[in-house]
Amino acid sequence: MKVSVITPFYEGDKYMDAYVDAMLENESALAALGHELEVVLVNDSPWKKLEAPESERSFIKVVTNEKNSGIHYSRIAGLEAASGDYVMFLDQDDLIEKDALAKEISAMDSDTDIVIANASLEQKDGSTLLWYRNDYHKSLVWDLQTYLTVGIQIISPGQCLIKRDAIPDFWRENLMEVNGADDYFLWLLMMAKGARAKYFDGALYTHKYTGANISANTKTTDDSVYNFLDLLNDCSYFKQDDIYTLHQMITYKAQFRESGLVGKITASLANLDLFVKNYKFKKKTGTGYGFNR
52-84: pLDDT as tens digits: 767 645 789 999 999 999 999 999 999 999 999
- For residue 59, the model assigns a pLDDT of 86
What's the CA gap between 20 and 91, in Å, rounded?
Answer: 13
Instruction: Read off the pLDDT band of 287 (50, 70, 90).
Output: confident
- For residue 293, the model assigns a pLDDT of 55
Amino acid letter at 125?
A: D
C-alpha distances out from residue 46 to 5, 90, 198, Å: 20, 19, 37
Q: Which domains does the chain have, with CATH numbers?
A: 2-212 (3.90.550.10)
Q: What is the mean pLDDT of residues 12-31?
A: 92
- Closest-CA residue to 117 (of 134, 96, 93): 96
Instruction: Read off the pLDDT band of 210 (50, 70, 90).
Output: low
What's the CA gap between 222 and 217, in Å, rounded?
Answer: 9
- Does position 94 have pLDDT exceeding 70, yes or no? yes
Q: What is the mean pLDDT of residues 244-263?
A: 94
Residue 218, Cβ density class (10 Å: 0-12 exposed, 13-18 middle, ≥19 buried): middle
- Does position 204 have pLDDT exceeding 50, yes or no? yes
Instruction: Read off the pLDDT band of 85 (50, 70, 90).
Output: very high
Q: Rounded to two decimals, what is the model's pTM?
A: 0.92
Q: What is the mean pLDDT of residues 26-47?
A: 95
What's the CA gap between 181 and 170, in Å, rounded?
Answer: 15
3-state helix, strand, coil in the chain (%, to 5): 45, 20, 35
